[in-house]
Amino acid sequence: MKSFKRLTFMMMLSLVVIIAAACGNNSAKEDGEGNSGSGDGLGELSGSITVSGSSAMQPLVAAAAEQFMNENPGVDVQVQAGGSGTGLSQVSEGSVDIGNSDVFAEEKEGIPADELVDHKVAVVGMTAAVNPEVGIKDISKEDLKKVFTGEIKNWKELGGKDQKIVLVNRPDSSGTRDTFVKYGLDGETPAEGVTEDSSNTVKKIISETEGAVGYLAFSYFTDDTVTPLSVDGVKATDENVQKGEFPIWAYQHSYTKGEAEGVAKAFLDYMMGEEFQKSVLTDQGYIPAINMEVERDAEGKQTDK
């Protein structure tokens, strides 16, 4: 009888242990699934990040943020402009989670590039943009430099209207300016003119000002309020950039301080995913980096892939 009671007790004790273990596993599973914003794919993503920098990238990143937040209601992505220099400075300081830039971090003085991780989200083509009434649609590289350095002062010198040239520049912190100066003007410094922080404002001024010329990313040529210029007979198109035939282009970089984590990593993965790259990115006027037949390094050297 004692043996029977002892056996019964041991069986009941084993049953209790099994039930307790099962409950513990369920609890651990529930805790893991509720680990919001961990970036490990478990549970509903939540949290907030701030993105700043390149105004040329702003339309793309804003579109990405809108769709990403629609798919992840617990996430808030704040997108600010301010220029590539601002984005790189702020992400280096840790005041934003992602810093967008039209230029490599190595090209900006004072930026600790070795502390940043580069995510090449896309490629952007850029070209000179003129008021539609100036009367030209193509310009040689040499004349482009003469226009922006102030050597040519009237469009009639290039076969256009008798209109004084009005230069519209971006500030020194602008990655768009850096790219245009480096690859459009071969490093020559533009003459003084109107200076605006935002590409949207530059476009507006060019469209409303007689004789105005500035420079914009292809993604801003969405209507006929400004005219993009061909350079040396080569049209400013995505295809010509991809082939390496049109010279003024740059990577669109999203930098993080160290490896991206949590919401920042999930957002970057979303932007660099195939679905986004082949739909929203191209619809916004950008070029997927995977489509490029050439590549550039931080020193500007272009080679075939």
Q: What percent of the chain has pLDDT over 70?
A: 86
In tens, the pLDDT along 108-157 reads: 999 999 999 999 999 999 999 999 999 999 999 999 999 999 999 999 99
In this predicted structure, the answer to whether residue 62 has a pLDDT above a threshold of 90 is: yes
Q: Which residue ranges does the chain devote to CATH 3.40.190.10?
A: 47-124+251-300, 125-242
For range 208-229, the mean pLDDT: 95
Higher pLDDT, 173 or 197: 197
Q: How many helices (H) and strands (E) does the chain have?
A: 10, 13
Cα–Cα separations (whole angstroms), residue 24 to 19, 20, 30, 215, 303: 9, 6, 10, 62, 58
In this predicted structure, the answer to whether residue 7 has a pLDDT above a threshold of 80 is: no
Higher pLDDT, 241 or 1: 241
Nearest Cα to Cα of residue 215 among 181, 242, 253, 254: 181
In this predicted structure, the answer to whether residue 31 has a pLDDT above a threshold of 60 is: no
Least confident stretch, 24-38, 46-60, 137-151, 286-300 = 24-38
Cα–Cα separations (whole angstroms), residue 105 to 52, 60, 86, 118: 14, 20, 11, 8
Torsion of CA 259, 265, 270, 274, to 10 degrees: 30
Are 122 and 251 in contact, with CB atoms under 8 Å apart? yes
Instruction: Select, from the ranges 167-176, 232-241, 294-303, the one with the highest average predicted confidence (pLDDT).
Output: 232-241
What is the structure's pLDDT at 12? Answer: 46
pTM score, two decimals? 0.72
Radius of gyration of the chain (CA): 27
What is the structure's pLDDT at 197? Answer: 86
What is the structure's pLDDT at 172? Answer: 86
What is the structure's pLDDT at 154? Answer: 98
Instruction: Select, from the ranges 173-177, 231-235, 271-275, the one with the highest average predicted confidence (pLDDT).
Output: 231-235
Higher pLDDT, 290 or 246: 246
What is the structure's pLDDT at 186? Answer: 96
What is the structure's pLDDT at 174? Answer: 83
Helix, strand, coil content of the chain in percent (nearest 5): 40, 25, 35
HSE-up of 223 (CA within 13 Å, CB side)? 5
Nearest Cα to Cα of residue 271 among 49, 21, 109: 49
Which token pair is 194? 């109107």
212-217/75-82 β-pairing: unpaired
CATH class of the domain at 47-124+251-300: alpha beta
For range 176-196, the mean pLDDT: 94
Q: DSSP character for 234?
A: B
Architecture of the 125-242 domain: 3-Layer(aba) Sandwich (3.40)
For range 191-197, the mean pLDDT: 94
